[in-house]
Chain A
Amino acid sequence: MGKPPGGTKSATSVRARTSRVWKTGLFTALVIVSNVAGNAFLSWGMKRTEAGAALPIPAFLVPFLSPVVWLGIALLIVWMLSRMTLLSWADLSFVVPVTSLGYVLNVAAGAFLLGEAVDGKRWLGALLIVAGSVITGLTIHDQTRVHPAGKGAGALEPRQ
Chain B
Amino acid sequence: MTWAYLALMVLATTASEVLQSWDMKRHGEVDDFRPGALAGVIGRFLRRLPIIASIGFLAISFFAFLKLLEMADLSFAVPASAASIVLETILARLILKEHVHWQRWCGTALVAAGVALILT
Residues of A bordering B, CB below 8 Å = 39-40, 42-43, 46-47, 49, 63, 76, 80-81, 84-85, 87-89, 91-97, 100, 102-104, 106-107, 109-111, 114, 116, 118, 121-122, 124-129, 131-136, 138-139, 142, 151-153, 155-156, 158-160
Q: Are the C-beta atoms of A131 and B24 separated by less than 8 Å?
A: no
Q: Are the C-beta atoms of A129 and B115 separated by less than 8 Å?
A: yes
With a cutoff of 8 Å between Cβ atoms, the chain B residues found around residue A136 in the complex are 103-104, 107-108
With a cutoff of 8 Å between Cβ atoms, the chain A residues found around residue B93 in the complex are 93
Given known pairs A93-B104, A116-B74, A122-B75, the reply for A129 and B21 (CB within 8 Å) is no
Q: Are the C-beta atoms of B92 and A84 separated by less than 8 Å?
A: no
Q: Are the C-beta atoms of B28 and A152 separated by less than 8 Å?
A: yes
Residue of B nearest to A151 (CB): B28
22 CB contacts below 8 A, A to B, read: A47-B70, A80-B58, A84-B45, A88-B30, A93-B88, A96-B17, A96-B84, A96-B92, A97-B89, A97-B107, A100-B82, A103-B114, A107-B74, A107-B79, A110-B78, A111-B75, A122-B75, A131-B110, A132-B111, A135-B104, A136-B104, A158-B99
With a cutoff of 8 Å between Cβ atoms, the chain A residues found around residue B73 in the complex are 43, 110, 114, 116, 118
With a cutoff of 8 Å between Cβ atoms, the chain B residues found around residue A109 in the complex are 74-75
Q: Are the C-beta atoms of B111 and A122 separated by less than 8 Å?
A: no
Contact with A along B17-46 (1 / 0, CB 8 A): 110110011111111000000000010010
Main secondary structure of the interface of B (DSSP, over half): helix
- Chain B nearest Cβ from A85, distance in angstroms: 5
A-B contact count (CB 8 A): 179
CA distance A18 to B115 in the complex (A): 34
How many residues of chain B get a CB closer than 8 Å to chain A's CBs?
55
- Chain A nearest Cβ from B83, distance in angstroms: 11
- Chain A nearest Cβ from B90, distance in angstroms: 9
Q: Are the C-beta atoms of A103 and B98 separated by less than 8 Å?
A: no
Cβ of B5 < 8 Å from any Cβ of A?
Answer: no
Known contacts A43-B73, A93-B88; 6 additional CB pairs below 8 A are A47-B70, A93-B98, A107-B74, A126-B114, A131-B110, A132-B108
